Chain A
Amino acid sequence: MMNTIIIKYPNSLLLFFILSVSFSSNIYAQTSEDLRLFSDLYQVHEHKNNFARYFKNSSNELELISTGLFVFYKDFFSSQDGNHCVFYPSCSIYTIEAIKKQGIVIGLMNGIDRLSRCNKLSPENYPLYKNSNLFYDPVE
């Protein structure tokens, strides 16, 4: 008999089921207070970087352009994938500082050499930076 009712009146049964669940138990959607509480758990950090300082005291246009390219990489590409460099300062910042201190040619060579050294295979060659797990390798 039950099977007959189900086959004959499926929509009515479905409606009956939905209505009974609605009135028999308390169902809540999120209130604005709940959303505010949840938003505190997942704080969005605004990506603010002050790269203007790297453009100061550039001695020529070529230096300015190369600094700009590295800053562009740092702001648009590197910012999306997290910090993977084993050194402090990171390889891009190191290259920018090397270009400023040593000129574009030597600075780029220094930066490329730094890229090939950017691994955890030689910890005995570098001190650790403050309380972090990063190797300290500044431009000299």
Chain B
Amino acid sequence: MIKNIFAILILLCIVQAKGQDIHDLNHSKQFADYLFKTRQYSLAAEEYERIVFLDSVNIQNKYMLILSYRKAEEYSQALNRFTFFFKNRFIMPANFAEEYVKLLLLTKQADSAFSYLSINQSLNAELKQNYQLAALLLQKKWDDSFKYAMSYPVTNEKMNSRLHLLAFDAKRIKYKKPVTAAIMSAIVPGTGKFYTKNWKDGIIAMTFVGVNAWQAYRGFKKYGKKSAYGWIFAGLSASFYIGNIYGSAKSAKKYNQKLDDELYKKALHIALDDL
């Protein structure tokens, strides 16, 4: 009796058991979603390419493909897909339009993004304004971005409030003047670098010029005008003095560039909130 029951159970299992096609659309989709969730974006993009090939109608798959390329930092591939999927990029669904804008911002085409947003019909007005503000910030046009920020209201929406705050910070940015740094270093060597908050380099420059000048003074005091020792150290001191003036001006320019880069990174981070 028990043997018969077992035989029947085994037969039922055989009837239930069958091979599965793991490369069909559903399974491929599951695998692609898994790869995306586990942040293997390059591999996910490859899978989504296959899925889009198998099912070119489903728009969600196309969106996931583009998103995978963006996350995998393959921006040119993602932009190519827009050309492939849409004849007219100004009449894309809103999520695609947003992705397109993000890709333009990432590929340093912020001016193109600004122009595109002016013409685009699918995104809502507030989102367009936010991205346009981000585009201005990413072009390092601090005055223009402040004026633009003042032209539309601040809301509680996260991107809106953060971009407005950044635009106000950008307006208040305080650059260092290279001419001031150079003049300060001309008067007291090293102080130009103190002005640009480069304390350690300033002290080293001050020390180099000071020590060489002192050695030159010693040489001339002991041996007079004809002292080779004095002239050598005078030459070294003069070289470091002149080099420090140039270096202070350069340090001020680098300081300003660093400030700009920090604002740029913050603007990019806010615009691409899901990075």
Q: Which A residues contact B (CB, under 8 angstroms)? A: 106, 108-113, 115-117, 119, 121-122, 125
Contact = CB atoms under 8 A, between A and B. Distances in A.
Contacts of B208: 116
If over half of B's interface residues share one DSSP class (helix, strand or loop), that class is named, otherwise mixed; here it is helix
Interface stretch (B30-38, B55-63, B242-250): B242-250
B200 A113 contact: no
A119 B200 CA distance: 10
If over half of A's interface residues share one DSSP class (helix, strand or loop), that class is named, otherwise mixed; here it is helix
A115 B243 contact: yes
Contacts, number: 45
Nearest to A122: B200
B198 A109 contact: no
Given A121-B200, A122-B198, A122-B200, A116 B246 contact: no
Contact of B204 (A110, A112, A119): A119
Contacts of B201: 116-117, 121-122
Contacts of B244: 113, 116
A102 to B, nearest CB: 10
B267 interface: no
A116 B200 contact: no
Contact of A109 (B200, B204, B205, B243): B243
A113 B247 contact: yes
Residue with the highest number of chain B CB atoms closer than 10 Å, among A109, A116, A122: A116
A117 B246 contact: no
Interface string B242-271: 111111001000100000000000000000
A140 B188 CA distance: 26
B239 interface: yes
Contacts of A109: 242-243, 245-247
Nearest to A109: B246
Contacts of B246: 106, 109-110, 112-113
B12 to A, nearest CB: 61
Interface residues of B, number: 16
Contacts of B240: 112, 115-116
A116 B205 CA distance: 6
A109 B185 CA distance: 14
Contacts of B242: 109, 112
Interface in B178-222: 198, 200-201, 204-205, 208
A49 to B, nearest CB: 26
Given A116-B243, A117-B204, 14 more contacts: A108-B243, A109-B242, A109-B243, A109-B246, A110-B243, A110-B247, A112-B240, A113-B250, A116-B205, A116-B240, A116-B247, A117-B247, A119-B204, A122-B200
Contacts of A108: 243
A108 B244 CA distance: 11
A116 B254 CA distance: 17
Contacts of B245: 109
A108 B239 CA distance: 9
A116 B246 CA distance: 12
Nearest to B205: A116
Contacts of A113: 243-244, 246-247, 250
A117 B205 CA distance: 8
Nearest to B241: A112
B204 A121 contact: yes
A69 to B, nearest CB: 14
A104 to B, nearest CB: 13
A121 B198 CA distance: 11
A125 to B, nearest CB: 7
Contacts of A119: 200, 204
Nearest to A113: B247
A106 B247 CA distance: 10
Residue with the highest number of chain A CB atoms closer than 10 Å, among B198, B204, B254: B204
